[in-house]
Structure 1
Amino acid sequence: MKIPHENHWAADPMALAPARVHEAEGAGRSSFAIFQALRHPGPVFWVLPRHEPHRPLPRGLPPGLAERLHLVEARNEADLLWAIEEALRSPACGFVIAEPAKALNLTAGRRLQLAAEAGRTTGLLLIREGHGCNAAETRWHCEPVAGPADSTRHRWRLNKNKSGTLGIWTVHWDGASAACDLVSEAGE
């Protein structure tokens, strides 16, 4: 399945609704974030705590993404939420990825949704399992799965969706483009 992101988010099961904040959890959440960043034009802001040891490295990113990526390191959770909100509110920003250390309460989640609507910016929070917020538009569970030696497969499960259906997709993504192939399960 190779569907461009623009104006096709309703028909593309991997597209995130624009101007909304979404969540991804699981061991494959960073891959999902990079895949989504490739699908959004413009500057990409990745907001994370200063002490976070795992961060995207420019040399390991797909072509063209490192040039658009801006890492924002926050000293504490309050600064992190402020930076996420400001990035979402900016119409110059193409996509916001953030890694809150704690679960957001409903008020904080709603503030981020309002900022995304105001800036017409899409956001993706990379959360720990069980740290989801009811204000999120969608919540994805992302895991790498075994495949052939030359394959990079993921299982992306949409387990919360405020405006559509839920689903599970096994995805072959080459790690470099904004397109993916949905992989049929064995015997189907």
Structure 2
Amino acid sequence: MPLNTVDINRQRGHFSDREQLWLFGYGSLIFKVDFPFRDCRPAYIRDWSRRFWQGSHDHRGTPEAPGRVATLIREPGACCVGMAYLITPAVFEHLDMREKNGYLRFSTPLTFTDDRAPDQEDGLVYIATEDNAAFLGPAAEEDIARHIARAQGPSGPNRDYLLNLADALRTLGADDEHVFAIERYLR
């Protein structure tokens, strides 16, 4: 799969027939909300783990020196905490460009963690799968921290992404050992 996934997402057309839908954010979509939304709620998805295994050639790194950003890896029994945003399909134009570096849209059941109804909805999530050209794969958390410490791109230092995500996860009451271990090494 190519680095730029905009055309693939648009051809797939997932969710373009809905008036509104829920978007699950688990990385920068938690702390950098630069798109219009109608509502937001804390939520989680099951059987996925957040991992800093995706390369960033366009935001937190460069083509010559990619940064490391979050993607989701299937892990039965896992729980990934994040934020859900109620959006319209018009927002795809912006999100597809923002998430173009290997991320594809997938449907996912969401479970909300606040006390409002409904408790669950179907939504979408952008995931950079292992077959995309920017996938860096697993590494020791200490090595990931070293990589992040050196990387910088048009959206700023890679370390800011990791630190902002760790702070946002604490605000949500999430316990993400992978993110927090990288943060400890980075600091």
| TM-score normalised per structure 1 | 0.27
The structure whose residues are more often helix, as a share, is 2
| TM-score normalised per structure 2 | 0.27
